[in-house]
Amino acid sequence: MSHTADQQRRAAREHYNASLGDCPARQLLEAISGKWVTLVMLALAEGRQRHSDLRRKIPGVSQKMLTSTLRSLERDGLVSRELTAQVPVRTDYELTARGHSLLRIVFELKDWAEENKEDVASSRLEHDIGLPAVN
């Protein structure tokens, strides 16, 4: 029986989908690798906050995206939500201990971005005007 490269590729991918694709570690890695997760966690680094505070701090985030990111972080035990009985009901969000353990790595990503922003900007410029990049 002969297989084309495409058939082989499809079979290999199906195999991976059945193993790695269902792997909880990969799913979790994907869940924490989103730009809104990163930005919301950094905003929460400053401490307990309301939805409106977070929305003000994170430029470009929509109400819907912020709500869905916070729900996902809460579901994963990274953020806790506290309701205070007042009119209207006040909702505060805060990083949990688990959230803080991930925040440590998010801070490293942020520091890396700060340290590399000029070099990356140079690479982009060289790439866009077609010069060979120096690496």
51 is an interface residue for a copy of itself by CB under 8 A: no
Judge contact between 69 and 37, C-beta under 8 A.
yes
- 76 vs 92, which CB is nearer to a copy of itself? 76
Residue 96 as a binder of a copy of itself (CB under 8 A): the answer is yes
**Omega before residue 88 within 30° of 0, cis:** yes
Determine the Cα–Cα distance for residues 31 and 14; give it in Å rounded to an integer: 22
Of residues 68 through 87, those in contact with a copy of itself by CB under 8 A are 74-77, 80
DSSP of 60-84: T--HHHHHHHHHHHHHTTSEEEEEE
Residues that bind a copy of itself (CB under 8 A): 5, 9, 12-13, 16-17, 20-21, 24-26, 28-30, 32-35, 37-39, 52, 55-60, 74-77, 80, 96-98, 101-102, 105, 108-110, 112-114, 116-124, 127-128, 133, 135
